[in-house]
Amino acid sequence: MGTAYETVGVVGLGTMGAGIAEVFARAGLAVIGVEADPDALERGRSHLSRSTEKALRRGKLTEEERAAILGRVTFAGDLGALRDADLVVEAIPEIMEAKRALFAELDRICGPGTVLATNTSSLSVTALAAATTRPGRVVGMHFFNPAPVMRLVEVVRTVVTDPGVAEGVAGLARRIGKTPVRVGDRAGFVVNRLLLGYLNRAVGLLERGVASQHDIETAMRLGAGLPMGPFALLDLIGLDTAYEICEVLFQENRDPSFAPSPLLRELVAAGALGRKTGRGFSAYTDEPSRPAP
Ligand code: 3HC
């Protein structure tokens, strides 16, 4: 029998985790957001509050709907709060050892029916499944940034995932308004594998002086019909995240087009990580979606 997903845990409340929590709460599920660091927990709480406040101002939500969404989300600093969750989505930083330790801990804490999912961008879902005693109930559930807007979820099935579990998670993705695609456990899955090579090559073009940042952005928006150019997208994804994905893809495939560009490396070393730090390829004002003039 498939799992009836009613209570979902989200571990890690950074940009992606907070967005994922919002998506589930908007779809009517009870959400438990867990973040060990109290400051990060507070940022996650205020992210949800600001995002729903913006939707209220734009007339996309009523006061009542906003209150209901906020009322469905509880926050905790401890994984013990996830004991009875039907599904837990992990959205912590892309560090394999930290993720494996978390999956082992979740496996100890959660009931045997809980499905454990990872939002990893490029790390091995199989390696995370192997850290648990329930590999059949471990999947990838990969959302895209901004999670409340982007309609795709990659459902990653390993060789040991129970096919019924993967189908149940795909059904859940549809229930929260997303379109699922089923993908195998290969670094970068489909979207990042195709997208990051392009983004990394765009940085290479800029470094070699083939065109200016502005002209590369314009070329890809107007010539390829993309909603944003490669540098705006890198700033949205986060340059550290993009760097890590390129590095994993390079290590796995030995394909030089994934070797992170020196300029990307330099910006990451300088702490210019994109919108989240207010500076990446562009500088950003307080309004995160608007580059500074
Ligand atoms: N959170 C919530 N909602 C947001 C948002 C955010 N961060 N950013 C924008 N929105 C909403 C706006 O409120 C608006 O909603 P409305 O239509 O209901 O009023 C809608 O999105 C459109 O926003 P804007 O009018 O401000 O701006 P745009 O029309 O330019 O859209 C965009 C912004 C949706 C970000 C669009 O430019 C886009 O689709 N860009 C490409 C994003 C993309 O490719 N993401 C995938 C990255 S890869 C990834 O995430 C994988 C990971 O593993 C790295």
Instruction: Give the model confidence (pLDDT) of 204-249 as tens digits.
Output: 999 999 999 999 999 999 999 999 999 999 999 999 999 999 999 9
Phi-psi region of 132 (alpha: psi -120 to 50; beta: other; left: phi over 0): beta
Quick check: is 282 catalytic? no
Counting ligand 1 atoms within 8 A of each CB, the residue from 118, 275, 289, 290 with the most, and so the one to mutate, is: 289
pLDDT in tens, 274-289: 999 999 999 998 654 4
Residue in 22, 35, 90, 154 annotated catalytic: 154
Dihedral sign for Cα 149, 8, 138, 47, please: positive
The protein residue whose alpha carbon is closest to atom 51 in ligand 1 is 144
DSSP secondary-structure letter at 82? G
Q: Which residue matches tokens 């970068």?
A: 188
How far is residue 134's CA from residue 91's CA, in Å, rounded to a whole number? 19
Q: Which residue matches tokens 């459902």?
A: 155
Quick check: is 200 catalytic? no
Quick check: is 214 catalytic? no
Assess contact for 142 and 156: CB atoms under 8 A: yes
The protein residue whose alpha carbon is closest to atom 2 in ligand 1 is 148
Do you find a cis peptide bond into 293, omega within 30 degrees of 0? no
Ligand 1: lining residues by beta carbon, under 6 Å: 51, 58, 60, 121, 144-146, 148-150, 192, 195, 227-228, 233, 237, 241, 289
Per DSSP, the three-state class of 46 is helix
pLDDT in tens, 58-117: 999 999 999 999 999 999 999 999 999 999 999 999 999 999 999 999 999 999 999 999
Q: Which is nearest to 33 in space by CA: 76, 69, 68, 67?
A: 76
Quick check: is 154 catalytic? yes
For residue 292, what pLDDT band results from cuts at 50, 70 and 90?
A: very low
Assess contact for 138 and 129: CB atoms under 8 A: yes
Residues making up the chain, counted from first to last: 293
Q: Which is nearest to 20 in space by CA: 181, 175, 190, 142?
A: 142
pLDDT in the model for residue 286: 63
The protein residue whose alpha carbon is closest to atom 7 in ligand 1 is 146
- CB count within 10 Å of CB 1 equals 6
Q: How remote is the CA of residue 234 from the centroid of ligand 1, in Å?
A: 13
pLDDT in the model for residue 2: 61
Assess contact for 26 and 148: CB atoms under 8 A: yes
The protein residue whose alpha carbon is closest to atom 30 in ligand 1 is 227
Q: How remote is the CA of residue 58 from the centroid of ligand 1, in Å?
A: 15
Per DSSP, the three-state class of 11 is strand
